[in-house]
């Protein structure tokens, strides 16, 4: 498909969610194109740190239509295996992915048309599925002294392996999965301090991604039925005890202390005035949805979030949001969870197009 084409559907983002949407659109016979900013398949998994593992075995980490094959010698596949799987998935279903194409903005144009402006021309479509994920919007908290600190600072998105931090004084900030996994990765190699806003809450060792998906789905069904909020995954804990985290925890290497109050030129300072010299701060403080291309449409509601009905933007039903977390479908940011919202969005698009 040539640049600047007119097509019924534009899918923005060629990671796991964009591919799942493409699979369902193809099954329904809907013409579409996937615009992906990356130079190769794999989405955000191409940029993950070297030791990252899935929370679930391969059989429970699959996109629709194509089970993920197991990785030899590994119960929980690594990021490289996921990249290979996504590349194979894209080839197997001959999904029309155009890359690298960075979508800059989506505008309304006349009756029934959305204009998708990119760095490689303009596409026009009747509907847009936004599946841009969060990796390109790392969140850094406004901690006093962050600009003053003379050491190195990096976010989860910039971390790769512990070798470059050998013997360094490293503070890892964050009590979620990425914070625990990176702290476990660094603990044997560096002088590690792990800080969290509240004491770490490890999920039971037997809980993995399969359980998390079931819990997230049950919570959404309860809310949809008007029943009391069960608390979802957060009611179980914050950290999945994948084998490397479990090993570091059991060895006493993951002892967290309260997060510091500020940074100074040479380190971190706690609320009681105590301080520590630090060489590196790793901010494992999460991501935000990468929704800037949709800004011209004015879809945001209170709190900066786009109100949705299922996956459909309330302010413009021609726009669907996929894969941004529970607000766009139970566990929709996971491999196992992205298929169902993608299916529902594809059906809605097919109905819209008639």
Q: How far apart are CA 76 and CA 54, in angstroms?
A: 5
Residue 223: band (very low, low, confident or very high) from pLDDT cuts 50, 70, 90: very low
pLDDT of residue 205: 67
Neighbouring CB atoms inside 10 A of 318's CB total 20
Mean pLDDT for the stretch of residues 46-73: 92
User: Distance of CA 13 to CAs 8, 35, 39, Å?
Assistant: 16, 6, 12
pLDDT of residue 241: 83
The end-to-end CA distance of the chain, in Å, is 22
Asked if pLDDT for residue 152 goes beyond 60, the answer is yes
pLDDT tens string 101-151: 999 999 999 878 999 999 999 999 999 999 999 999 999 999 999 999 999
pLDDT of residue 229: 46
| Torsions phi, psi for 329 (to 5 deg) | 135, 140
User: Distance of CA 253 to CAs 180, 183, 195, 197, 246, Å?
Assistant: 11, 9, 13, 18, 10
pLDDT of residue 4: 64
What percentage of the chain's residues is helix, strand, coil (to nearest 5)? 30, 20, 50
**pTM for the full predicted model:** 0.89
Asked if pLDDT for residue 207 goes beyond 80, the answer is no
Q: How far apart are CA 298 and CA 172, in angstroms?
A: 37
pLDDT of residue 60: 86
The lowest-confidence range among 177-181, 183-187, 331-335 is 331-335
Sign of CA dihedral 142, 147, 152, 157: positive
pLDDT tens string 77-87: 999 999 999 99
Mean pLDDT for the stretch of residues 311-336: 92
pLDDT of residue 224: 53
Residue 215: band (very low, low, confident or very high) from pLDDT cuts 50, 70, 90: low
pLDDT > 90 fraction of the chain, expressed in percent and rounded:
77
Residue 351: band (very low, low, confident or very high) from pLDDT cuts 50, 70, 90: very high
Question: Is the Cβ–Cβ distance between 341 and 323 less than 8 Å?
Answer: yes
- HSE-up (13 A, CA, CB side) for residue 2: 3
pLDDT of residue 240: 85
Mean pLDDT for the stretch of residues 200-228: 61
pLDDT of residue 232: 47
Q: How far apart are CA 146 and CA 264, in angstroms?
A: 8
Asked if pLDDT for residue 218 goes beyond 60, the answer is no
Mean pLDDT for the stretch of residues 239-259: 92
Higher pLDDT, 41 or 218: 41
């Amino acid at each position: 498909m040539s640049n600047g084409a007119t097509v019924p559907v534009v899918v923005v983002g060629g990671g796991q969610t964009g591919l799942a949407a493409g699979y369902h659109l193809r099954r329904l016979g809907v013409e579409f194109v996937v615009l992906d900013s990356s130079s190769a398949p794999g989405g955000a998994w191409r940029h993950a740190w070297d030791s990252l593992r899935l929370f679930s075995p391969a059989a429970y980490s699959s996109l629709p239509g194509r089970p993920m094959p197991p990785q030899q010698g590994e119960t929980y596949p690594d990021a490289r295996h996921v990249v290979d799987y996504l590349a194979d998935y894209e080839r197997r279903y001959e999904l029309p992915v155009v890359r690298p194409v960075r979508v800059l903005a989506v505008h309304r144009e006349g009756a029934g048309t959305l204009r998708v402006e990119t760095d490689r021309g303009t596409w026009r479509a009747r509907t847009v599925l936004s599946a841009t994920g969060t990796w390109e919007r790392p969140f850094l908290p406004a901690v006093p002294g962050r600009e003053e600190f003379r050491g190195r600072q990096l976010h989860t998105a910039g971390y790769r392996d512990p070798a470059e931090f050998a013997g360094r004084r490293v503070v890892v900030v964050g009590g979620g999965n990425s914070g625990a996994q990176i702290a476990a990765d660094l603990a044997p190699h560096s002088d590690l301090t792990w800080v969290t806003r509240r004491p770490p809450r490890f999920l039971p060792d037997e809980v993995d991604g399969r359980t998390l998906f079931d819990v997230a789905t049950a919570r959404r069904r309860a809310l949809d039925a008007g029943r009391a909020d069960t608390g979802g995954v957060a009611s179980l804990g914050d950290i999945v005890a994948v084998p490397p985290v479990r090993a570091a925890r059991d060895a006493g290497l993951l002892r967290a202390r309260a997060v510091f109050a500020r940074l100074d030129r040479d380190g971190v300072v706690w609320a009681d005035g105590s301080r520590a010299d630090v060489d590196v701060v790793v901010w494992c403080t999460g991501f935000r949805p990468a929704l800037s291309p949709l800004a011209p449409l004015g879809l945001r509601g209170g709190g900066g979030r786009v109100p949705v009905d299922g996956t459909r933007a309330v302010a413009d039903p021609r726009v669907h949001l996929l894969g941004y977390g529970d607000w766009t479908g139970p566990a929709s940011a996971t491999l196992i969870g992205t298929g169902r919202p993608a299916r529902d969005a594809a059906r809605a698009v097919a109905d819209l197009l008639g």
